[in-house]
Structure 1
Amino acid sequence: MTTVGIVGAGIAGLHLGLALRAADVDLTLYADRPPEDLAAAPLLNTVAHHHPLLERERALGVHHWPAAQFGYGAHHHWIGGARFAGRFTHPSCAVDHRLYLPRLAGDLEARGGRIEVRDVGPRDLGALAGRHDLLVIATGRGALSGLFPRRPEHSPHDAPRRLLCAGLYAGIAPAEPAAVTIGVAPGQGELLEIPMMSRHGPVTALLFENVPGGDLAVLNELSPAQDPALFRKTVLDKLREHHPATAERVLDDFALTHPSDLLQGAVTPAVREDFLPLGEDRFALALGDAHVVVDPVMGQGANIASYSAGVVAAGIAADTVYDELFCRRVARSREEVLLGASAWTNLMLDPPPWLDELWRGLAADPRRADTFTDGFDHPDRQWRLLATRRRVRAFLSG
Structure 2
Amino acid sequence: MATVGIVGAGVAGLHLGLALRAADVDVTLYTEHPLEDLAGARLLNTVAHHHPMLERERALGVHHWPAEEYGYAAHHHYLGGAEPVRFTGHFTNPSCAVDHRLYLPRVAADLADRGAKPVVADIGPRDLARLGAQHDLVVVASGRGPLSGLFARRPEHCPHDAPRRLLCAGLYTGVRAPEPAGVGISVAPGHGELLEIPILSRHGPVTALLLENEPDGDLAGLASLPYDDDPARFHRAVLDALAVHHPATRERVEEREFALTHPLDLLQGGVIPAVREDYLPLGDEKFALALGDAHVVVDPVMGQGANLAAYSAAVVAAEIVTDTVYDEQFCLRVARAREEVLLAGSAWTNLMLDPPPRIPELLRALAADQRRADEFTTNFDHPDRQWRLLATPRRQREFLAGDRAEGDRRTTWSIQRSAAPY
TM range (shorter): over 0.9
Instruction: Determine if contact 2:344/2:387 at 8 Å carries over to the other structure.
Output: yes
Structure 1 residue 84: Cα displacement = 1.0
Aligned partner of 1:45 in structure 2 is: 45
Aligned partner of 1:304 in structure 2 is: 308
Aligned partner of 1:57 in structure 2 is: 57
Match of 2:338, as an amino acid?
R
Q: Which of 86, 89, 92 is the aligned partner of 1:89? A: 92
Structure 1 residue 221: Cα displacement = 2.0
SS of 1:146's equivalent in the other structure is coil
Match of 1:268, as an amino acid?
I
Instruction: Determine if contact 1:355/1:389 at 8 Å carries over to the other structure.
Output: no
Aligned partner of 2:73 in structure 1 is: 73
Aligned partner of 1:332 in structure 2 is: 336
Q: Which of 207, 213, 217 is the aligned partner of 2:216? A: 213
Structure 1 residue 230: Cα displacement = 0.7
Q: Tell me whether 1:370 sits opposite 2:374 in the alignment.
A: yes
Instruction: Determine if contact 2:243/2:250 at 8 Å carries over to the other structure.
Output: yes
In the aligned structure 2, how far is the partner of 1:388 from the partner of 1:213? 27
In the aligned structure 1, how far is the partner of 2:369 from the partner of 2:242? 28
In the aligned structure 1, how far is the partner of 2:105 from the partner of 2:241? 34
The number of residues matched between the two structures is 398
SS of 2:64's equivalent in the other structure is coil
Q: Which of 382, 385, 391 is the aligned partner of 2:386? A: 382
In the aligned structure 1, how far is the partner of 2:346 from the partner of 2:24? 32
Aligned partner of 1:179 in structure 2 is: 182
In the aligned structure 1, how far is the partner of 2:359 from the partner of 2:40? 42
Aligned partner of 2:239 in structure 1 is: 236
In the aligned structure 1, how far is the partner of 2:285 from the partner of 2:305? 31
Structure 1 residue 354: Cα displacement = 1.7
Aligned partner of 1:283 in structure 2 is: 287
Q: Tell me whether 1:345 sits opposite 2:358 in the alignment.
A: no
Q: Which of 262, 275, 289 is the aligned partner of 1:271? A: 275
Match of 2:327, as an amino acid?
D
Instruction: Determine if contact 1:50/1:377 at 8 Å carries over to the other structure.
Output: yes
Runs of 4+ in 1 over 2 A off after TM superposition: 79-82
Aligned partner of 2:127 in structure 1 is: 124
> Deviations for 1:327-356, whole angstroms, at most 9, x for unmatched residues?
000000000000000000000000011223
Structure 1 residue 360: Cα displacement = 1.7
Match of 2:70, as an amino acid?
F
In the aligned structure 2, how far is the partner of 1:114 from the partner of 1:176? 45
Match of 2:382, as an amino acid?
H
Alignment of structure 1 residues 88-237 onto 2, 5 Å: 88-237=91-240
In the aligned structure 2, how far is the partner of 1:233 from the partner of 1:115? 44
Structure 1 residue 224: Cα displacement = 1.5
In the aligned structure 2, how far is the partner of 1:87 from the partner of 1:206? 20
Q: Percent identity?
A: 74
Q: Please list every run of 5 or more consecutive structure 1 residues that lacks an aligned counterpart in the other structure.
A: none
Match of 1:297, as an amino acid?
V
SS of 1:159's equivalent in the other structure is coil
Match of 2:155, as an amino acid?
P
In the aligned structure 1, how far is the partner of 2:248 from the partner of 2:199? 18
Structure 1 residue 218: Cα displacement = 1.4
In the aligned structure 2, how far is the partner of 1:221 from the partner of 1:349? 20
In the aligned structure 1, how far is the partner of 2:246 from the partner of 2:237? 13
> Deviations for 1:358-395, whole angstroms, at most 9, x for unmatched residues?
11210110000000000100000000000111111100
Match of 2:160, as an amino acid?
H
Aligned partner of 2:3 in structure 1 is: 3
> Deviations for 1:124-151, whole angstroms, at most 9, x for unmatched residues?
0000110000000001000000000000
SS of 2:258's equivalent in the other structure is strand
Instruction: Determine if contact 2:224/2:269 at 8 Å carries over to the other structure.
Output: no
Match of 1:283, as an amino acid?
F
Aligned partner of 1:25 in structure 2 is: 25
SS of 1:172's equivalent in the other structure is coil
Match of 1:93, as an amino acid?
C
In the aligned structure 2, how far is the partner of 1:258 from the partner of 1:197? 14
> Deviations for 1:161-182, whole angstroms, at most 9, x for unmatched residues?
0001100000000011100000
SS of 1:250's equivalent in the other structure is coil
Aligned partner of 2:261 in structure 1 is: 257
In the aligned structure 2, how far is the partner of 1:82 from the partner of 1:384? 25
Q: TM-score, normalised by structure 1?
A: 0.99
In the aligned structure 2, how far is the partner of 1:106 from the partner of 1:221? 35
Structure 1 residue 357: Cα displacement = 2.4
Match of 1:247, as an amino acid?
R
Structure 1 residue 254: Cα displacement = 0.3
In the aligned structure 1, how far is the partner of 2:239 from the partner of 2:214? 18
Structure 1 residue 214: Cα displacement = 1.7
SS of 1:206's equivalent in the other structure is strand
In the aligned structure 1, how far is the partner of 2:358 from the partner of 2:73? 28
Aligned partner of 1:313 in structure 2 is: 317
Aligned partner of 2:12 in structure 1 is: 12
In the aligned structure 2, how far is the partner of 1:256 from the partner of 1:99? 18
Structure 1 residue 82: Cα displacement = 2.4
Q: Please list every run of 5 or more consecutive structure 2 residues that lacks an aligned counterpart in the other structure.
A: 403-422
Q: Which of 363, 371, 388 is the aligned partner of 1:359? A: 363
SS of 1:215's equivalent in the other structure is coil
Match of 1:184, as an amino acid?
V
In the aligned structure 1, how far is the partner of 2:389 from the partner of 2:79? 18
